[in-house]
A and B are shown apart, each in its own frame.
Chain A
Amino acid sequence: MGFFFHIGRYFSMLKRVFARPEKHKLYFRQLFHEIDNLGVNSVGIVIIISIFIGGIMTIQFAYSMANPIYPSELVGLGTRDTLLLEFSSTMLALIMAGKVGSNITSEIGTMRVTEQIDSLEIMGVNSASFLILPKIIAVVFIFPFLYIISVFFGLLGGLVTGPIAGVITIPEYIEGIQWLFYPYYITFSIIKSLFFGFLVASVPAYFGYYVQGGALEVGKASTKAVVNTNILILFFDLILTRLLLT
């Protein structure tokens, strides 16, 4: 099936997703459940990955700038800007596409193949809206927080690892992460994370919602969802960077 078929069906699904909810109370309950399931449960992995990446970047920056003509603050600055501009928004979104995205596809896909979605439709429930809208809102809501957590723990990772590895002192690192700081970088990345949050929830939901067959097809749909979400994240990263940063 063609590219345009999927685009058309994706937007027609979104039209149903954003239809007026049948009962707000149930949607809110679902929303809190999804914030917990998709967002809060991801905090741990975000912290672990960010600490390691922050530490690794600090060592790599120190290695590539091991030249007396470069000020030592560049190590902290490089780590900070990489985290602020790219890692904590884009790379984190790519990682979340694997964790949260595959979870969404397999959950909705399993509901499809076990006729739970048909069951909702028969009851007169807008299944697309009931199942997908709380997930989109939850992920879009939680992504900026995950971004901030990631930046914080990434910087902390550099602060701990740099001195332990002997590549930079704590005062040099702290001075570096404050040097030439542009608050707009945070605004820019939070805008990106909102877009990426939408993609990470809606694209896997699309692949799960329209899956046909059995368990094997659900597995394949999860893989497709992650691959397509990653491509779209990188594509929109390029566009948003061009629009907002240059």
Chain B
Amino acid sequence: MITLKNIIKTFDGNTVLKDISTVFEQGKTNLIIGRSGSGKTVLLKSTLGLFEVDGGEIWYNDRNFTQMNEKERKLLRREVGMVFQGGALFDSISVEDNVRFPLEMFTEMSSAEKQKRVDFCLDHVNIEKHAFKLSPSEISGGMQKRVAIARAIALNPKYLFCDEPNSGLDPETATVIDKLIQNLTKEFEMTTIINTHDMNSVIEIGESVLFISQGEKEWEGTKHEILNSGNQKLEDFIFANKLYAQMKKGQ
């Protein structure tokens, strides 16, 4: 579980996150949604400590992240997996070496154990054997995302962060990625936070949804409540897509 308490973040005097408090629950896919520029990525990166917050507290279970020194944060980050928007795979090494990298860096496993773990992770995200030796540039965008997920789960993380994991993917592949993340969350009992502005993802896997607008928390709930939120900004966001307006009419 990750708890945010009154998070404030400013850049050059411009307040990007305004007093955001929420709880991201373990074993659930927690979605942060909002328009482009609403502060979703800043919130995600602040939670990870890539941006230092100007106010508030971040708790990873019972550990206060904001009070930790750099060494403690580095240790905690070994419990964190992250899937970046563009995959952020290391393009100088192969697919399987990308997944092996955190194992080589942080474990004392034997070569055989590492290979077994690499195979397990890549198999879990449905990457076929023939792609293991390819470089990231030789595989499709959807596969890159899946390899990024495999790398993120290599160290058995307690917390999984995904920044727009299905951006740039076709709807079918996007659904596959969403389901994959949800299944892994359940299987490994992770606290998963997904940053997205894709309403399909919300409807598919939005067990807990946080809507932010202009850096403020506007609404919080589940995918079942979202169509009848009563929040004007959220409705403007959702019903910009006519399909969801029709869904609401038909309930």
A-side interface residues toward B, CB under 8 Å? 22-23, 25-26, 114-116, 118-119, 121-126
Contact = CB atoms under 8 A, between A and B. Distances in A.
Most buried by B among A118, A121, A122: A122
B105 A122 contact: no
Contacts of A122: 48, 50, 77, 80, 82, 161
Interface residues of B, number: 23
Nearest to A116: B88
A101 to B, nearest CB: 19
Nearest to B104: A26
Contact of A115 (B78, B85, B102): B85
13 contacts: A116-B88, A116-B90, A116-B91, A118-B50, A118-B82, A119-B88, A122-B77, A122-B161, A123-B77, A123-B102, A123-B106, A124-B76, A125-B105
Nearest to B50: A118
B112 interface: no
B74 interface: yes
Interface of B: 45, 48, 50, 74-78, 80, 82, 84-86, 88-91, 101-102, 104-106, 161
Contacts of B78: 123-124
Given A23-B105, A115-B88, A119-B82, 4 more contacts: A118-B84, A122-B161, A124-B75, A125-B105
A212 to B, nearest CB: 12
A114 B86 contact: yes
Closest 5 CB pairs between A and B? Answer: A124-B77, A115-B88, A119-B88, A124-B74, A122-B82
Contacts of B88: 114-116, 118-119
Most buried by A among B76, B82, B105: B105
Contacts of B104: 23, 25-26
A25 B80 CA distance: 23
Nearest to A130: B105
Nearest to A19: B70
B222 to A, nearest CB: 28
Contacts of A123: 77-78, 101-102, 105-106
Contacts of B82: 118-119, 122
B105 A22 contact: yes
Contacts of B74: 124, 126
A170 B89 CA distance: 57
